[in-house]
Amino acid sequence: MGWIVSTCGGAVFLVVGLLFAASVNDAEQQRVINAFMHANAVHFDKVESYSRTQHYSASDSRFGLSAELVARIYYRRLKGKTFEVLSRGGSTILQTHVFDPLLKEEIETSQLTTPERSLLSTHNYSFRLAGEETMVGRRCYVLELTPLRKDKHLLKGKAWVDAEDYAAVHVEGRFADSLSFWIGKPFMTSDFMKVSGLWFAAKRHSIQNSFLAGRSELTIEYRDYQIELR
């Protein structure tokens, strides 16, 4: 009887301990998510305007196509983005079916975005804290991203969130919906860098393997930031 009571008591303490650990993990997860959302809102609030150069390069293995485009993007808070194309060359097909739609989408999306509706937000995703990892020499929280709907702007993947600044350092995943018939649902990685004390896009790389187009790759490099803070 003593052994049975001891085992039951141990089981009770074990269950209580697991429940306590779960509540602590849930609390930590919510803390990280809240801090991440707050950092996004602060970023939106601090930036009055910026401009940057975006270097696009794309290639397609099946048809041997390649193309490049350089554009200057201009952003103003509460108004969104505009752009001018500085140069372009290579495949007309890639220019028309990849670069032009991407620029158009970026401009249209920027005009609809608010802190609450920014792409990495609880309006668009369910987040789960998966652990911690080091990314680009910085301690990061790893958040699993689950889109709340089928949307070509959203990713099913992960975000590495800086443990000090609570900003995204690296994001990767596959798009929740097809970007277009030509592009499909590529796997994308996005890297970010610190400029004027805030994190901005540095590079985006996507890869798509399809029966129609073979292996296609797209890289966008973000350079020459000019930032005006509020």
Q: Is the pLDDT of residue 26 over 80?
A: yes
Is the CA virtual torsion 170, 121, 41, 71 positive or negative?
positive
Q: Is the pLDDT of residue 182 over 90?
A: no
Whole-angstrom distance, CA of residue 141 vs CA of residue 164: 10
Give this prediction's pTM: 0.83
Domains of the chain, each with CATH number or no CATH: 2-229 (2.50.20)
- More reliable by pLDDT, 37 or 179: 37
Residue 179: name the closest of 200, 148, 208, 220 by CA: 208
Q: Is the pLDDT of residue 61 over 60?
A: yes
